[in-house]
A and B are shown apart, each in its own frame.
Chain A
């Protein structure tokens, strides 16, 4: 039997899919056509210059399917919940949202949580422009049991925790999809993390869209503490109306190859858009953060801070685009990417990219890649602190700065302890 290419396999998975409602099925067909037209990023694709994603995936996923059964049992799943009573705990298994395993505390008047259906077609795939992103299109074609999350003006502002459970006993793939509609004046805090059973290669093609209406606030924090058999391409696409705030925090501590695409459209005045990230990686892990903020309206602010600590053979990639359109006068847009390399074989590729068409703006970007400051290490040692401890102090201090925007103490503590474990 001739070996199937990955795209052939996607077709098989697509054709086997059943149960999609008619309206949705049109959307999914359209997405699949778009994916087939775009194809996987080719070898010379600028957006994937440092992560040869097609080659990597072809090599590791010669036979792949969405798991039909799970080895996770209910007790195991509930044990993983953060111990917060006043919270929504939402469970995905292999990319499919499971309402029966989820615990929802919010009143339906404040927060609507349901499976993505044809009623959301006016938003789905349209929050911001993902038409050139093959993985966004692939997810659009393949997802099932997506989560629709609609926060009303009088939202109760209790946190929502999303837990993904993956089965990787055999080579697997999943397509989680989340659609957030933050209505005018609403407050939303979402935290996301993933658990994996099994050590066969697992591929996650994830997609989150968030519409942030006027004067709404959305905070989204993602913890990617993947084992080394996980490959992921995850998109976050947001668009902001006037006076809104959007924060993303992405923490990556492991995995095989992780690609994060974060895109924010600032399509209103007086908005704040924040993108923060931290990657602390070792072994052969490769993390590629690709971000873009598009200022379409005047008087808004965006800030981006990504930090990395890269050890052994790991590789960190950062690409940050800032667009300021001619109408977007008085824009303030800042970006920085700082990396510390701990071994001779660790690599960092960092590329800021600013395209500014307006003339009355404040924009800055900066990136640094280096080793630990020897003078600082000597200073600490001269006070009796061992070399190992001195390095740990400095690295953790460097890393925890990215935690400032994580407001949920339990999550913050959890991430801090991961950092201390890895660097302390």
Chain B
């Protein structure tokens, strides 16, 4: 589904990603872990198409196409979903109105007719249950004045509505208490299928207790320095990132 080869990216001439290799197949869950500043969020942003980042080398192939050629909205329409670490507050635009626009633009790109108000509401009600989100929240301006937990739940709700093939969760656990974390993880798990894949970007292991990864990769200084199964996350939790830093230090 996704094949990243030797991906290099920089922002304002500062090199952040220094050659990432990663392959994700349908049905898989990959966790990307790493200390602060290692490039985790940059990787998520580059995959979603944030224009401030300049790709300076390497390639990303998604469903056999050159992903880097696509604008952010085209990526979304092709099934890539980024759950933001910091969902943006947009005054005056209700979540409902925003999502209706998004869902229908995605449908239009596939040659489908827009959902009418009734079908859209029905769809929304169904997906609201997944993340236990309140109707009242959705009529409010998008993310404006939402608590941290509400924002993250809203991200997963949007994910449920857009039914992506590849979801990238960028630090979705940050700022969540354990109850909110469970709700969010539960939502993600319910959306999992053999046809879609998930990349979980996280600093801490605790989210991975609930969203169990098939693969864990450790990102450090812009490169994946270690890969393994879910036990690697536990090992990291126990030994801390200094362990990786020390190992890397020795190798260097």
| Interface of A toward B, CB cutoff 8 Å | 373, 375-376, 378-387, 389-390, 393-394, 396-398, 400-401
Contacts and interface: CB of A to CB of B under 8 A. Distances in A.
Nearest to A375: B88
B158 interface: yes
A393 B75 CA distance: 20
6 contacts: A382-B81, A382-B82, A390-B73, A393-B93, A393-B98, A398-B91
Contacts of B73: 381-387, 390
Interface residues of B, number: 32
Interface stretch (B48-56, B121-129, B190-198, B201-209): B48-56
A379 B87 contact: yes
Contacts of B141: 397
A394 B89 CA distance: 11
Nearest to B93: A397
Given A376-B88, A389-B105, A398-B91, A382 B98 contact: no
Interface in B54-96: 71-73, 75-77, 81-82, 84, 87-93
A373 B142 CA distance: 14
Interface of B: 48-51, 71-73, 75-77, 81-82, 84, 87-93, 97-99, 101-103, 105-106, 109, 141, 158, 162
B87 A381 contact: no
Given A382-B84, A386-B73, A401-B92, 19 more contacts: A376-B90, A378-B51, A378-B88, A381-B49, A381-B71, A382-B48, A384-B76, A384-B105, A384-B106, A384-B109, A385-B105, A387-B71, A389-B105, A393-B97, A393-B98, A393-B101, A396-B92, A397-B92, A397-B141
A397 B73 CA distance: 20
For B50, B88, B109, B162, the residue with the greatest tally of chain A CB atoms inside 10 Å of its CB is: B88
A375 B103 CA distance: 20
Contacts of B77: 384
Nearest to B83: A382
A397 to B, nearest CB: 3
The 8 closest A-B pairs by CB, nearest first: A397-B92, A384-B76, A383-B102, A381-B72, A379-B88, A384-B106, A381-B73, A397-B93
B54 to A, nearest CB: 15
Contacts of A379: 84, 87-88, 90
A386 B41 CA distance: 23
A373 B101 CA distance: 19
Given A375-B88, A394-B90, A397-B90, A385 B101 contact: yes
Q: Is the interface of A mostly helix, strand, loop or mixed?
A: helix
Contacts, number: 76
A378 B93 CA distance: 15
Given A378-B72, A382-B48, A382-B76, A397 B158 contact: no
Contact of A378 (B50, B91, B103, B106): B50
A409 B76 CA distance: 37
Contacts of B162: 383-384
A18 B52 CA distance: 69
A84 to B, nearest CB: 27
A386 B48 CA distance: 14
A380 B77 CA distance: 12
A307 to B, nearest CB: 11
B201 to A, nearest CB: 15
A377 to B, nearest CB: 9
B161 to A, nearest CB: 9
A382 B92 contact: no
A390 B76 CA distance: 14
Contacts of A401: 91-92
Contact of B92 (A373, A381, A390, A400): A400
B131 to A, nearest CB: 16
Contact of B101 (A376, A389, A400): A389
B88 A385 contact: no
Contacts of A387: 71, 73
Contacts of A386: 73, 105
A386 B72 CA distance: 9
A383 B91 contact: no
Contacts of A390: 73
Contacts of B81: 382
B78 to A, nearest CB: 9
B97 to A, nearest CB: 8
Contacts of B106: 384
Interface centre among A384, A386, A394 (most CB of B within 10 A): A384
A373 B90 CA distance: 9
Contacts of B82: 382
A385 B91 CA distance: 17
A263 to B, nearest CB: 30
A114 B170 CA distance: 68
Contacts of A396: 92
B109 to A, nearest CB: 7
A378 to B, nearest CB: 6
Contact of B72 (A373, A376, A382): A382
